[in-house]
Amino acid sequence: MIVDKNGSPLTSADNLSPDTRHGMILYVEDVSVSFDGFKALNDLNLYIGDGELRCLIGANGAGKTTLMDVITGKTRPDTGKVSFGQQINLLELDESEIARAGVGRKFQKPTVFEALSVFENIELSLSGDKGIWTSLFHKLSGEQKDKIDEVLNTIGLEAERNYPAGRLSHGQKQWLEIGMLLAAEPRLLLVDEPVTGMTTQETERTAELLTSLAGKHSVVVVEHDMAFVRSIARKVTVLHQGTVLAEGSMDEVQANKDVREVYLGEEQD
């Protein structure tokens, strides 16, 4: 078995960066997923541009989580193709291989190590599968320290670098978790409902953070907070009954008759 520097087995996804020469980082084509005969995703097509920030909206049960689960390998579709760049077939990889290929996922609830400092939390995610003790007692290289500083700067937590993560506010924990993902340098970040439970100020800061990540990373944000979506999205995809109902700017989708009927109706004045 061939292993990488962390001792993890090498797979076809390692040493491969997604081929984005056509400007696309993610291709989801004709994907269907059934649970006991119920189609949670129904011939769904979604294309995410390299460096794009996309918002995914849709009522409860529209299929947003199932779609994220398919992209990250948690759920296998019955039919369809999912490709990372042009050449990496995500349906052939398991969840950890997909993460190592460069797809990061942030779940709604923050899961930081509360007793460890902000710095140590990021340090841990730099070191892959080595385990907590080896990671914390292993001497960091200058390059690794620079990387952690860069992440702290991006997420705006330099002043809190030595705080135990448990002392951070809810919003700061969410940013720290985004930072932990960034330490692994993902090309595509999937972010699930990042501003739930945040104060107005934290929500604004999160909008700035996610916007700043686009370009270097491609970011897909699932969110119910329409004001937040409006503040960050250039392009919005509306899911309904497991398929794409509409796609375009926030103004375009809000003006779309089908969208108004099934999803935004109650928000129109």
- CB of residue 261 to ligand ATP, shortest distance in Å: 17
Strand order in the sheet with 103-106: 103-106, 188-192, 218-222, 53-57, 235-240, 243-248
| Residue 107 engages ligand ATP in binding (rule: CB under 6 A) | no
Q: How many residues bind ligand ATP (CB under 6 A)?
A: 10
**List 54, 64, 217, 240, residue binding ligand ATP (CB under 6 A):** 64
Reference 176, options 146, 144, 209, 208; nearest CA is 209
| 156: its two tokens | 């705006």
Looking at beta carbons only, is 118 or 236 nearer to ligand ATP? Answer: 236
Among 66, 174, 203, 254, binds ligand ATP (CB under 6 A): 66
Q: Which is nearer to ligand ATP, 15 or 60 (CB)?
A: 60
Q: How far is CA 233 from CA 53, 54, 252, in A?
A: 7, 6, 12
Helices (H), the chain: 64-71, 95-101, 118-126, 132-137, 142-155, 170-183, 200-213, 226-232, 250-255, 257-259
Measured from the CB atom, is 108 or 169 closer to ligand ATP? Answer: 108
Single out the residue of 18, 58, 179, 194 in contact with ligand ATP (rule: CB under 6 A).
58
**C-alpha distance from residue 235 to each of 81, 212, 239 (Å):** 22, 16, 13
Stretch that binds ligand ATP, among 23-31, 63-71, 117-125, 208-216 (CB under 6 A): 63-71
Which CB atom, from 161 or from 224, has the smaller least distance to ligand ATP?
224
- State yes or no: residue 15 binds ligand ATP (CB under 6 A): no
Q: Which of 35, 167, 215, 255 binds ligand ATP (CB under 6 A)?
A: 35
Which span sits near ligand ATP by CB under 6 A: 59-67, 88-96, 129-137, 179-187? 59-67
Could you tell me the two tokens for 241?
């009954």
Give yes or no for a contact between 154 and 146, defined as CB atoms under 8 angstroms apart. Answer: no
Tell whether residue 61 is a contact of ligand ATP (CB under 6 A): yes
Decide if residue 191 touches ligand ATP (CB under 6 A). Answer: no
Q: State the sign of the Cα–Cα–Cα–Cα dihedral 6, 18, 65, 78.
A: negative
User: Residue from 27, 65, 98, 181 that binds ligand ATP (CB under 6 A)?
Assistant: 65
Residues found near ligand ATP in the complex (CB under 6 A): 35, 40, 58, 60-66
